[in-house]
Every structure is written in structure tokens, then in C-alpha cells.
Amino acid sequence: MSFWIHELRSKEQSAIYAHKLKFLMISAVVFATIVVSYQIDKRMTIAHWLSNMETSVKQSRNELVNQLSEAVKDIYFLSTNGVFTKTIKSNNLAELQSFFISFSSLHEEYEQIRYIDHNGLEVVKINHVHNERPSASSNLQDISHKDYFMKFANLPKGSVSISKIHNTKIDSTNDHIHPFILIAAPIFDSDGTYNGMIIINYSVPHFLEMLVNPISQEEDEGHLHLLDSEGNHIFHSHNYAHHENLKRYLDVIPKPNQSSEQANLSFESEGEIFEVAFFYEYSSIKQAIDHNLQRFSLHIEEPFLAIASMSNKNDVLSEPRLRLWTEILISILFLFSLMYFLRRNFKLKAETSKALFKAEKLSKALEQTSDLITITDKNGNIEYVNNALCETTGYVQEELLDQKPSIFKSGQQTDHDYKELWNTINDGHKFQGLIVNRKKDGSLYYEEKTISPLFDSNQNIEGFISTAKDITHSEIGKRALYDGLTAAANRDLFMDRITHKLLEHERKDSEFSILYLDLDEFKAINDLCGHKVGDDVLQGFTKLCLSAVRKSDTVARLGGDEFAILICDHSNRSRLEIIANAIIDGTDKFGQTWLPTDCKLKVGVSIGICTVKPSEKVSSTDEIIFKADKAMYESKRNGKNCFSFFH
């Protein structure tokens, strides 16, 4: 038993290790999948942001190019318009102011338009404050000392110049700045005389309003910035007035290669993601207006401007990280559920394994025990028999399954006995008793039987189990089936075997014979020599009869000095005579050895023989015994110690 327990525990330990290994492998696969999924999600998210940021900066750049191109074309138109130059030459200031006011009212981004003569004096100045009508300014200044005037004064005819971005504080009480770009064009009359210049103050905030409200309005476009080439300005789409971080951004943003056509860059730095759109040498502006204007030249102070979209990487990756934590939480819940399932499954398998182990051991025990085991359902249908029962009865298991136990019925018990048996076990009680059953070959065997009901979990009977010991050859069995003195079959066993042969005769038209034997002078021997001598005679005579027949035949003591022999197979008359003569001769020869030397009596035997032939009708076993007994009495009348056939 300890070996079984050790074996079961070893199997449990192996199963536990296998379940732990399975759980670890699944956990590793789950978390590896999460990591790979997060990396893919992160890359796809960054790529998505960069794509949207690239679209945003390109649209913003194109918008700025278009607006500056329109401003260049406008100032070029003014500087080369004949009507305009005539008005200047005639010094009609009122008409010039009116012309500028009308022109400025069409362009809100032109916050100031000035006509400056060749000496640097402001002749006409129109201011256009946001959301107000343009108006002429009386505050005219001499700008001849200004750097930008000296640069613009040398512009050739038919040219336009664009300055760097200029900053002007709105007032002295705060740090808010007002960036603008100067766009200038010289004025020449028809004979080529230089008359001064027109300067438009182009309002950068007007463009930055577009940066504050991006064109596509997408959250994942990043924050837009406008940068110049010197690091003096940076304008943020959420707060473009502050540019204290420009130097840091300008340092990390790569400068464009002016000889290259590459105008867009994407990169990461210090936890920020950048998408930058450059336009340098204002080539795109020049291309936009060269198509419509002849003999046009463009002078640009700024090497390049850049519109950059910047996004904080933590913000960009917030959704992937949220999805990551969601996946982790779901995975943890999944793994806890899996752990619970595996533990429950393991316990179930362990319990099942134990149950199967016990069932296997029980099955082996049932198969290997010498007891006869039968299990039936509650209706008495056989569901299981063990090898010992099959070996004892001569049946194979397939012949007995789904049969009733009555297949073993011998007829030795009454119907009342069987009724009492079934009443006992159907009431939930155990039956114990001695049962005489019949084997497949028709022979009887005695069982010391116990039948117990089997209960389900609700204490309802679901079947029965019968355990029995074959006691046929035990002392109890021998006393029940065999004569205690001679060990020959008793009357009950002999009558049962005749009954079985008679049934076989009716089925198969078989032939068998009965020899009825009675010892001559036995009563005198018993009276004169004593019962002990009589017992010796009976025992010696039984051995003589057994030696005269085959093992398949049955020698029985019916009572007192009466014996009977069942010859089971077909036997012709001559063989029966040989058997009878052998018994008579043997009695003559050995009879005296069974008696004391001083006994003057002689043992003899009278034999009656009855043969049941094929197709012969026999009403009962008593009829056969009667016929054999009648033939035996005929031998008595014929002088004893002889045999006679029934006719």
C-alpha cells in the first residue's frame, strides 16, 4: 500500500511541475506578446503623429509662401504701376493716401504701408490696426539713418526685398512682442529717375493666427513653431509671444542644406518629436511669382525660415502606454483566471487521477481475488463479473453481461427463497446465505454469498454487488453435495445431475443410463459385525464403483446400502454389461477384505440398469429411478449378485 501512495505522490509532483511550467510558458508568451505589441503600437503611433505633423507643417509652410508671394506681387504692382508713379511725381498726397488706404483695407495683414522719398523721409504712412479701418498717420519720420532704409535704397529697378523678421514690443509694461517682416520695392519714373520706395510692414501675427488654429484641427499634429535662421524668434502655436527656448530648439533642429532639394526633416531629441518644413532663399516665393512677372528679381535677407511641429514624446505615447497598461491589466486578469483554472483543473485531474488510481487498484483486486464478484444495476442486469466467477462457472464475460443472475439458477432454492433475497436487498439491507448455483456445463456449485446494495449520493439504490466463495469442495460444500461417509455424490446432487441430463436429452436427443445398486446381505453384516464394519463395506464398495466408471460419470450413495451410477455418454449394452460385471466381480474379489476374518457372511450386489434412448419420452427423473429400481429387484429375484436390464 505504501508503494501505491509513493507512486501516486510522484505522479502528483510531476503533474504540479508540468502545470507550473505550462503557466510560466504561457505567462512568458503573453508578456512577450505585450512587449512586441507595445513596440509595434509605439512605432505606428509615432509614425501616425509624424505623418499628421508633416501634413500640418507643409500646409502651414505653403500658406506662408502663398501669403508672402501675394505680398511680393502686390508691392511689385504698386512700384511699377504708371498711375501710381505719376501720382507720386505730382506730389498729390491726398490721392496717394486714399490709394494706400483702399489698398490696405483689402489686406488685413498689411499693418503699415509707407511711401518714403529718396532722402529717407516718410511722405505717406497708412496704419492698419487689427479690426480697425486703415488711417493716415501724421507722425512722419526721417528714416534715412535706419539700416533697412540704407539696404533698400540700393535696390535695382524691378526688384523686391524681404527683410528678416523684426520684433517690436507692444508696450513697456509687458514682454509681448509684435513681429513683422518688411517688404520693400524701389520706385522709378519712366525716365529711370529714382523717386524713393514703398515699404509694407507684413504682420507675422496674422500668419501666426493660422498656427494657433491649425488648418486640419487635429490633436495629433503637434504644436507649430515659426523659427528664423538666427535663433532670434520662435513662435508657438499655443503661445507665440514667448521665445525663450528658441536657442535650445534651434540647436537641435538640423540646418537645411541649401544645395539640397530636401525641405523636410523628422527627428527626435530630448523627449521631443520634431517635424520641420524649411523654405530657404525664398525660392518657393520666387518660383510662385516669376511665373507671372517678367524682369523680376527678389532679394532676401533671411537664409531660411522654418515651420516646425513639436510634440512631447510622453504625450504622443500616452495612448499606447494606456493601451499597454490596459493589456497588462487584462493579461494579469487572464493569468489569474488561467492560474485559477489550472489549479482547479489540476485538482480535478488529481482527484480524477486518485479516483482512477483507486479504481484501477480496485479493478485489479477484483480481477485477482479468488472470490466470485458480480455487479448488477438496480434492475438486476449484470454489469460486471470478475475472472474468478468466469473460471468457476465456465462462462466468458461477454455471455454474462446484461444477463440476469438467474442464469446461474439451479432450482435447489425455492421461489420463496429468491423472493426473500430480493426483498432484503431492495430494502437496503445485506443478504448473507448459502446458494446452490449451476455452472455452464450444468454441474452444481455451492456459494457462501453476500449481496450488498450500492447507494448513490442521495442514498438511493443504484445497483448491487455480490461477493461469494465457491465452497463446493470445502467441508460445507462436501456435506451439502457428497455423502459424508463414502465421499460419493449424495441423493440431491445425483438427482440434480439426472435432471440436467434429462433436459439435455430433451434438447439434443442424447442417450444416458442409470445403474441402481443394492448390496446383498448388508443388513445382516451391519447387525452381526457392527456399524463400523458396515461403514468399511460401504467405503470399499464406493471405491470399487468409482474405479469401474469414468470421471465424467457420477457415483452416488442414495441412502443406506443403496447406490446409483449415472453413465453420462452414449453407451451400448455390452459396455454397460462390462461395468456391471466389473462391479459384481470386484465385490466378490474384494468383499471379504472389507469384512473381519471371523465374519462368515459374504458381500454381494444386485444391479438394475435403465437406459434412456434417443427420442424416448420420459416424464420425470422419478420415472427413470423407478425403472432402474425395478430392474434391480428383478436381479434380487434372480438369485442376487447379478444385473438385469429394464425392459
- The three-state DSSP-derived secondary structure of 150-162 is HHHCCCCCCEEEE
Average pLDDT on 311-319 reads 79
Residue 7 has pLDDT above 70, yes or no: no
Q: Which of 429, 450, 477 is the last residue of a domain?
A: 477
Q: Supply the DSSP string of 26-45, one letter for each residue.
A: HHHHHHHHHHHHHHHHHHHH
Percent of the chain with pLDDT over 90: 27
Specify whether 238 is located in the same domain as 98: yes
Q: What CATH number is associated with residue 77?
A: 3.30.450.20
Average pLDDT on 361-378 reads 84
Q: Which of 459, 477, 495 is the last residue of a domain?
A: 477
Query: For residue 310, what pLDDT is reported?
Result: 73
Average pLDDT on 69-91 reads 84
Within a domain: 17: no
Q: Which cell numbers in the block locate residue 190? A: 519712366
- Quick count: other Cβ atoms within 10 Å of Cβ 6? 10
Q: Which cell numbers in the block locate residue 108? A: 488685413
Query: For residue 339, what pLDDT is reported?
Result: 81
Within a domain: 340: no
Query: For residue 615, what pLDDT is reported?
Result: 81
Half-sphere exposure of 55 (CA within 13 A, CB side): 13
What is the C-alpha to C-alpha distance for residues 298 and 65, in angstroms, rounded to an integer?
Answer: 14
Residue 503 has pLDDT above 90, yes or no: no
Higher pLDDT: 211 or 600? It is: 600
Specify whether 283 is located in the same domain as 408: no
Contact 228, 255 (CB under 8 A): no
Q: What CATH number is associated with residue 493?
A: 3.30.70.270
Q: What confidence tier does 520 reach under pLDDT thresholds 50, 70, 90?
A: very high
Q: Which of 425, 449, 477 is the last residue of a domain?
A: 477
Q: Which cell numbers in the block locate residue 283? A: 525660392
Amino acid at 196: G
Q: Which cell numbers in the block locate residue 372? A: 466470485
DSSP state of 233: -
What is the C-alpha to C-alpha distance for residues 514 and 535, in angstroms, rounded to an integer?
Answer: 24
Specify whether 212 is located in the same domain as 91: yes
Helices (H), 164-264: 204-212, 246-252
What is the C-alpha to C-alpha distance for residues 166 and 152, in angstroms, rounded to an integer?
Answer: 15
Higher pLDDT: 400 or 568? It is: 400
What is the C-alpha to C-alpha distance for residues 630 and 611, in angstroms, rounded to an integer?
Answer: 13
Within a domain: 3: no
Specify whether 473 is located in the same domain as 493: no
Planar angle of CA 640, 610, 608, nearest 5 degrees: 10
Q: Long-range contacts of range 391-400, CB-CB < 8 Å, 24 or more positions apart?
A: 392/439, 392/445, 392/470, 393/437, 393/439, 393/440, 393/445, 394/439, 394/440, 394/441, 395/440
Average pLDDT on 501-524 reads 89
Specify whether 449 is located in the same domain as 491: no
Amino acid at 632: M
Within a domain: 275: yes
Higher pLDDT: 211 or 57? It is: 57
Residue 95 β-bridge partners: none
Within a domain: 332: no
Mean pLDDT estimate for the chain: 81
Within a domain: 326: no
Specify whether 500 is located in the same domain as 583: yes
Specify whether 126 is located in the same domain as 271: yes
Higher pLDDT: 294 or 613? It is: 613
What is the C-alpha to C-alpha distance for residues 420 and 460, in angstroms, rounded to an integer?
Answer: 20
Residue 386: give the domain boundaries. Answer: 370-477
Q: What confidence tier does 52 reach under pLDDT thresholds 50, 70, 90?
A: confident
What is the C-alpha to C-alpha distance for residues 14 and 334, in angstroms, rounded to an integer?
Answer: 25
Within a domain: 517: yes
Query: For residue 446, what pLDDT is reported?
Result: 84
Amino acid at 178: H
How many folded domains does the chain comprise? 3
Helices (H), 291-317: 313-316
Nearest to 596 by CA among 552, 520, 541, 537: 537
Query: Each residue of 456-492: pLDDT tens digit?
Result: 888 999 999 999 988 877 766 677 788 889 989 999 8
Higher pLDDT: 132 or 265? It is: 132
Best-predicted range by mean pLDDT among 159-173, 274-288, 367-381? 367-381
3-state secondary structure 497-530: HHHHHHHHHHHHCCCEEEEEEEEECHHHHHHHHC
Residue 296 has pLDDT above 50, yes or no: yes
Q: What confidence tier does 543 reach under pLDDT thresholds 50, 70, 90?
A: very high
Which of 82-96, 123-137, 199-213, 509-523 has the lowest average pLDDT?
A: 199-213
Rounded to 5 degrees, what are φ and ψ at 243?
-140, 30
- Quick count: other Cβ atoms within 10 Å of Cβ 91? 10
Higher pLDDT: 227 or 372? It is: 372
Percent of the chain with pLDDT over 70: 81
Q: What confidence tier does 453 reach under pLDDT thresholds 50, 70, 90?
A: very high
- Quick count: other Cβ atoms within 10 Å of Cβ 361? 13
Within a domain: 605: yes
Query: For residue 340, what pLDDT is reported?
Result: 82
Average pLDDT on 379-400 reads 91
Query: For residue 281, what pLDDT is reported?
Result: 44
Contact 302, 165 (CB under 8 A): yes
Q: Which cell numbers in the block locate residue 53? A: 505633423
Specify whether 78 is located in the same domain as 199: yes
Specify whether 399 is located in the same domain as 453: yes
Q: What confidence tier does 48 reach under pLDDT thresholds 50, 70, 90?
A: confident
Specify whether 291 is located in the same domain as 157: yes
What is the C-alpha to C-alpha distance for residues 445 and 456, in angstroms, rounded to an integer?
Answer: 33
Q: Which residues, 6 or more positions from 484, have their beta carbon under 8 angstroms from its beta carbon?
A: 478
Specify whether 230 is located in the same domain as 162: yes
Query: For residue 608, what pLDDT is reported?
Result: 96
Query: For residue 260, what pLDDT is reported?
Result: 40
Residue 295 has pLDDT above 90, yes or no: no
Specify whether 514 is located in the same domain as 461: no
Q: Which cell numbers in the block locate residue 122? A: 516718410
Q: What confidence tier does 376 reach under pLDDT thresholds 50, 70, 90?
A: very high
